[in-house]
Amino acid sequence: MIRGLYTSGWSMLALNKKMDVIANNMANVNTAGYKKDTVIFEAFPEILTKRINDTASSLNPSGRIGSMELSGDVGEVFTYYRQGQLIRTDNTFDLAIRDSGTAFFTLQSLDENGNAREYYTRDGQFSLNSGGRLVSSEGYGVMGENGPVLLKGDSFSVMEDGTIIQDGEAVDRLLIKDFANPGTLRKIGSNLAAATAETVEKDFDGTVEQGFYEQSNVDIVREMVDMITVMRAYEANQKMIQAHDSTLERAVNEVGNIR
């Protein structure tokens, strides 16, 4: 009886986590370059069940009842890095990566200790700050192969390989990082990802498009369907808890009652 309560309760906790992820996807449906997350469930580890203070039975002196699984649990939050739709804006500062869902623009920021850190994003809606530095929408510096990209005004062009042309000369080339296993990247917020010890780079084989930006790869209809499914599963577990509670109440108050 108590096992049923634990099973339904744990399932509700796992479903609550999935609902949080779905809500975050829906909130970022219009965020440029955002990559959809999904929750992967796994079986709860089996546990050995034993009777407590009841091992005197000659038929089962060990007191072991058997093994059981309480419920499903959240195994990981998986990110889909497939490319979103490219939207044409003809804005000089809008850049997008085409034909590669595993490549990213490289940004640089300072951590709490003042050390430069590299981050990666698919959001190519850049701008020029007062110092002539190309920056992201959050103010992070866009990196080129020669360091932070510095420009003299907004008249420039970007070639398919990321080379930046200004006043007829190549001033730098965008530092595009492509990864063989993007699933090892860790999201850190602000539409940024950071590399981990397992992240492996590979040669960039896509192209850079100027005057375009990449939409989120979230399918809002799919997310709505998933949200309804999660809500129904949550409600089913809720009803199971109520049923178990009602049965336990009868067991406590009526079993053994002599009339």
How far apart are the C-alpha atoms of 105 and 143, rounded to whole Å?
Answer: 8
How far apart are the C-alpha atoms of 93 and 74, rounded to whole Å?
Answer: 40
pLDDT tens-digit map of 59-115: 555 556 666 666 677 888 999 999 999 999 999 999 999 999 999 999 998 777 778
How far apart are the C-alpha atoms of 165 and 242, rounded to whole Å?
Answer: 67
- 227 or 130, higher pLDDT: 227
How far apart are the C-alpha atoms of 78 and 21, rounded to whole Å?
Answer: 10
pLDDT tens-digit map of 172-214: 999 999 999 999 999 998 899 999 999 999 999 999 999 999 9
pLDDT tens-digit map of 10-59: 788 889 999 999 999 999 999 999 999 999 887 766 666 666 655 555 65
Residue 43: what are its φ and ψ, rounded to 5°?
Answer: -70, 140
How far apart are the C-alpha atoms of 205 and 223, rounded to whole Å?
Answer: 31
pLDDT tens-digit map of 234-252: 899 888 888 877 777 776 6
Q: Can you give the residue ranges of every domain in the chain?
A: 2-53+62-80+219-254, 86-214
Least confident of 63-67, 106-110, 139-143, 229-233: 63-67
pLDDT of residue 128: 93
